[in-house]
Structure 1
Amino acid sequence: MSRDNPLGHILSELDDLGEANTVQLALTEIHPRPNQPRKHFDPEQLEALAHSIREIGVIQPLLVHRQPDGRYILIAGERRLRAAEMAGLESVPAYVLEGGEEQIRAAALAENLSRADLSPYERAEGILAFLETRLSMGREDLLTRVRSMANALRKGWHDHETLTDAPGQVILKLFDAIGYSLRTFAEKDVAIFRLPPDILELLRSGAVPYRTATIIARAPEELRPELVAMALEGKPESEIRAAVTRARKKASAPTKQYAKRLRSVARALAKVDEVPPEAERLIDQLEKVLGLR
């Protein structure tokens, strides 16, 4: 994905987002956006940023939107806002963005895509949230549409209706603007939303990082509660991965032992001239139990 200037790129490609004015706002005047895709913030990175802000201040202004009641809603820059609070600042510079919900989502998406630490979940959620507003389309309908478009592109059906109609053109224009493949998005990023509901909710709430969530989702179902507890306790990804490995080895040990015994039986049978009737009966029984006959 192009990261040269995604904010400027999208703002030039999509509709006018209105003029942004820079002001100095008190931290108490800025309120978080309820549907902000980003939920997880690394404590060590926040502390490092707070240290930098103590030394040189907030260099890049936050992006906010002024509400009719006078409140300022944060559109982009929550990490900077949290670090500024940690640094003891009382106010921060901010761009005040004018425009409607669609324009706000476009600006938030562009700002978020400029982050080097953007997770696949945050990217997918940001893109889908913007398209839902832009197209007035529900999440499931939008996911169906994106998969259909990706399938048409994969098969070379460039005149397919989903690619040439108005919604299709909006979607293609967005992915062209952000320099990201629609096919990759449909085949990989969208798979995030097939995660087990409880794991997806952990991602949405920011309780666990994306990589940790995928490790837990791939683990045996009976092991997931233990892994979730470890993640919520702040255990590192390496410990959670090691717990999965240990559990799988433990689960496979009895099976391997039985397989070893059966191989010994097979070798013994190969040496006899005639299989005893009782052994043949037991073999028949075993095949039935295992569904081999």
Structure 2
Amino acid sequence: MSEFFKPKKQVLKSPEQAYAELLGNSSENQIVEIAVDLIDEIDNQPQKIHEDKIDRIVESMKIVGQLDPIIVIPNPKKDNRYILIAGRHRRRACIKLGLDKVKAVIRKETNPDKQRLMLLATNNDRNTDYSPSELAFSYKEQMELLQKLGNKSTASQIAQENNTNRKTVHKYIQLTKLIPPLLSRVDSNSITVGAGYELSFLSTEQQTKVFNFMLNHPDKSKIDKDTARLIRLSPDDLQNIFYPLVDKPLLFEDEENITAEEPKAEKKINSDISETNNCPSEGQLQKNQNIPFNVLMMISFIIKKEAYSILLHIISNFPTTDEVIELINTKYVTNGVCFKGNFSEGEKPPYYTPDYEKYSVSFKKKLTVTFTSEANEKESYKLSYAELDTGLRKYLRKYVSAEDKILAIKQAHN
């Protein structure tokens, strides 16, 4: 085999060596022995000491000795003393074994930010079961220090040095936005990390309501990711999310409980969607007018039936309106999709009457929906995709049960 195609031997670096390279110092420092009582520790650290890890190191050192050196820097305030940067558990294991000295590498780094960065990263090393909150605040501080030092792709660097991925790093950093009582429950696993991530997007007031609800309902002391997604989607409807009404839709205080039996009325023309049940006069063509709320809910029902991927995207991904419009344009408008159907069989939409027996839907610059009655009379409506997005979200809150939302979320992530 030629030298060109001969693969190079892979050399695995310790966490300390890898992070030394990240900080711009790849030289190998000499390992020396230092008296354990000459080493001072820094109190301000996000990671706690774990006695079980010390015990594991002790058992290992009884067999093979100290394999990995600790890292120290000279103490600038105390002659002949050192500050511990990495290796608190290893130093304690040496003390527990009755050893007077510990193997160490002395670094000459004088930049306080780089010292702190090394301390944070090298303490997130292998075989350590740190709590989610410890990792969260450690990752957050590492990112802030890297940005301060002018580094780019900070999440990628943190992920590489902590043997994880960028998505996980961002997820843990987001946990720092949880209120302390909820973050404590993430640490105790009453709330999963995935659920904590979803809840962290709520306001402080909304998070407090979630925590108080859990306190007042001991049977709901745990929250998984699917439930948290529902809470994030409808933070003011905790009762229906935790105790769903199987045969009834979710109702919200900001929407009227409208019935289809109320009489039709002429509709006012303006730029917003109306949440009244006023229907247009028969045969009236609606262009850029205020879509009646009952018609908007019927259109949303048709989208659920014919173009479910739009609704599923809203339920599972929490997209912006622009992202929903992009999905519609890419999947439906560009492909010239058109739907036709009738309500004679199967589930009926909200506010259904024979006036809306058949429907046709066309995706173009605007959504055009035409209803045809039994008497072959037609009513047409045009609405922007931003208006459709608003209607779909209202439909989700008003007519889609918690169970259906959970099933949709599971479907989207399987």
TM-score range, shorter chain: 0.5 to 0.7
Higher helix fraction: Structure 1 or Structure 2? 1
Question: Do the aligned partners of residues 193 and 25 (structure 1) sit closer, same or farther apart at CA in structure 2, a change above 3 Å counting?
Answer: same
Residue 78 in structure 1 maps to residue 75 in structure 2:
no
Question: Do the aligned partners of residues 49 and 189 (structure 1) sit closer, same or farther apart at CA in structure 2, a change above 3 Å counting?
Answer: same
Query: Within 2, Cα distance between the matches of 1:61 and 1:175?
Result: 22
Question: Do the aligned partners of residues 221 and 9 (structure 1) sit closer, same or farther apart at CA in structure 2, a change above 3 Å counting?
Answer: same
The superposition leaves residues 124-169 of structure 1 with CA deviations (integer Å, 9 ceiling, x where unpaired) of 43343234334449xxxxxxxxxxxxxxxxxxxxxxxxxxxxx463
Residue 171 in structure 1 maps to residue 182 in structure 2:
no
Task: Name which of structure 1's ranges 90-99 and 9-18 shifts more when overlaid on structure 2.
Answer: 9-18
Greater RCO, CA 8 A, separation 6+: 1
| CA apart distance, 1:213 | 7.0
Determine which structure has more spread, i.e. the larger CA radius of gyration: 2
Given that 1:37 and 1:122 are in contact with CA atoms closer than 8 Å, whether structure 2 keeps it comes out as yes
| CA apart distance, 1:55 | 4.2
| CA apart distance, 1:80 | 1.2
Matches within 5 A, 1:181-260: 181-186=165-170, 188-198=171-181, 200=183, 210=187, 212=189, 214-215=191-192, 221-222=211-212, 244=221
The counterpart of 1:129, out of the listed 102, 117, 141, is 141
Question: Do the aligned partners of residues 85 and 214 (structure 1) sit closer, same or farther apart at CA in structure 2, a change above 3 Å counting?
Answer: farther
Query: Within 1, Cα distance between the matches of 2:27 and 2:178?
Result: 38
Given that 2:146 and 2:154 are in contact with CA atoms closer than 8 Å, whether structure 1 keeps it comes out as no
Given that 1:17 and 1:103 are in contact with CA atoms closer than 8 Å, whether structure 2 keeps it comes out as no
Query: Within 2, Cα distance between the matches of 1:51 and 1:242?
Result: 42
The counterpart of 1:99, out of the listed 109, 116, 121, is 109
SS in structure 2 of the partner of residue 212 of structure 1: coil
Q: Which residue of structure 1 lines up, in the alignment, with residue 31 of structure 2? A: 22
| CA apart distance, 1:194 | 1.7
Q: What value does the CA root-mean-square deviation take over the aligned residues?
A: 4.7
Query: Within 1, Cα distance between the matches of 2:97 and 2:214?
Result: 37
Given that 1:105 and 1:129 are in contact with CA atoms closer than 8 Å, whether structure 2 keeps it comes out as no
| CA apart distance, 1:38 | 1.7
Q: Which residue of structure 2 lines up, in the alignment, with residue 36 of structure 1? A: 45
Q: Which residue of structure 2 lines up, in the alignment, with residue 236 of structure 1? A: none
Q: Which residue of structure 2 lines up, in the alignment, with residue 163 of structure 1? A: none
TM-score (norm 1): 0.53
Q: Which residue of structure 2 lines up, in the alignment, with residue 108 of structure 1? A: 119
Query: Within 2, Cα distance between the matches of 1:17 and 1:60?
Result: 17
Structure 2: runs of 5+ lacking an equivalent? 1-10, 200-206, 223-237, 259-414
Structure 1: runs of 5+ lacking an equivalent? 138-166, 203-207, 227-240, 246-250, 264-286
Query: Within 2, Cα distance between the matches of 1:47 and 1:182?
Result: 32
Q: Which residue of structure 2 lines up, in the alignment, with residue 49 of structure 1? A: 57
Aligned residues: percent identity? Answer: 21
| CA apart distance, 1:193 | 0.5
Query: Within 2, Cα distance between the matches of 1:243 and 1:88?
Result: 48
Given that 2:57 and 2:90 are in contact with CA atoms closer than 8 Å, whether structure 1 keeps it comes out as yes
Question: Do the aligned partners of residues 90 and 62 (structure 1) sit closer, same or farther apart at CA in structure 2, a change above 3 Å counting?
Answer: same
SS in structure 2 of the partner of residue 169 of structure 1: coil
TM-score (norm 2): 0.39
